Amino acid sequence: MQKKKQSPINQDIKEYTVEADHELLKYLLDTFKSKKRPVLKSVLSGGQIRVNGELTTQFNHPLKKGDKLSINWAKPGKKLKLKKLNVIYEDAHLIVIEKEAGLLSVASAKEKSKTAIQILKEHMAATNPNQKVFIVHRLEREMSGILVFAKSPEVQSTLQNDWNNFVVDRRYVAVTEGVVKQESGTLKNYLTANKNNRVFVGKTAEGSTLAVTNYKVLKQNKAYSMLELNTESGFKNQIRVQLANIGHPVTGDKKYGARKNPLARVAIHAHLLEILHPITGDKLKFELVPPSSFRNLVTKA
């Protein structure tokens, strides 16, 4: 008997091809007549729909014949909840979690407080004492979102030694202060860090690393903008520093110039990760609905 392939427990992603020009919400209402209007509006406003790979929350987003829709029909709350993290996927080789903001991925030399890997190890000790857990990559303490762990040192080594080639797609959502006037763009800066580990934009390329971040405005009001971002490079605090550099710091990010802290956290979230499975080679796609607090902040007038 063939074993059923395991999939992320908060993912139910279906693909559709648009057969005629339409507006997005009207298309949903006409196409999925068995689903109630509030459900369809919730899926759309919750950031669970992509058009040709781009996330949209706009009800009147124009659709063209041949456009590809990706809809995650799963309810956002369907996760294994542990303290300060949720397990969203697990198989024989990997554990993928949603980390809360404020939680360290792994202990540092200066910081010994509870970490994501410690919480997972304690969970495993209680449920499967022989199973080990190994860190693959990290998220900044202030950031929430998707984080991957390995179940063996061999899988850990495979992923860490070639991480950029295993990652197919990786995206973030951030709420910035002010109105970002350009709907999309690319930020390119030379970044460097001082002895206190604070990152800043360098004046020259010498002694610096080129950082490239692409962004798209998802929603905004007079005070805040919600962006989706992806990075072509990996540098500590990269997104936060580059947004601050254009006068739109991530709200709550006092370290890099934010004036407000309406959510009592730095408003940045790693919400999408697509990787190649290190053993099977299959594509695994994990996508979390952007935090409701982010959406609410940019919805308010």
Shared domain for 52 and 22, answered yes or no, is yes
Same structural domain, 65 and 137: no
* pLDDT range class, residue 14, cuts 50, 70, 90: confident
Q: Is 133 left (phi over 0), alpha (psi -120 to 50) or beta?
A: beta
Give the model's confidence band at 116: pLDDT under 50 very low, under 70 low, under 90 confident, else very high: very high
Give the position of tokens 């697509």: 274
- Return d(Cα 115, Cα 149) in angstroms, integer: 13
As a whole number of angstroms, the distance between CA 95 and CA 117 comes to 11
- Residue 4 falls inside a structural domain: no
Identify whether residues 141 and 188 lie together within a single domain: no
Q: Tokens in use for 9?
A: 């427990």
Single-letter residue type at 293 = S
Instruction: Among 134, 161, 188, give the residue marking a domain's end.
Output: 161
197 with 293, same domain?
A: yes
Query: Which carries the bigger pLDDT value, residue 105 or residue 196?
Result: 105
Q: Which residue has the tokens 């959510």?
A: 263
Q: Of all helices (H) and strands (E), which one includes residue 72? A: strand 68-72
pTM here? Answer: 0.75
Q: How many domains does the chain divide into?
A: 3
pLDDT band at 48 (very low <50, low <70, confident <90, very high): confident
Question: Are 59 and 139 members of one domain?
Answer: no
CA distance 49 to 61: 11
Residues forming a β-bridge with 62: 23
**Which one of 112, 132, 161 terminates a domain?**
161
Domain that holds residue 40: 13-72
The mean pLDDT value of the chain amounts to 88
Report the alpha-carbon distance of residue 297 to residue 299 in Å, rounded. 6
Q: Residue 10, CB half-sphere, CA atoms under 13 Å: how many?
A: 22
**pLDDT tens string 54-93:** 878 788 889 999 999 988 887 654 455 677 888 888 888 9
Q: What is the pLDDT of residue 129?
A: 82
Average pLDDT of span 208-233: 93
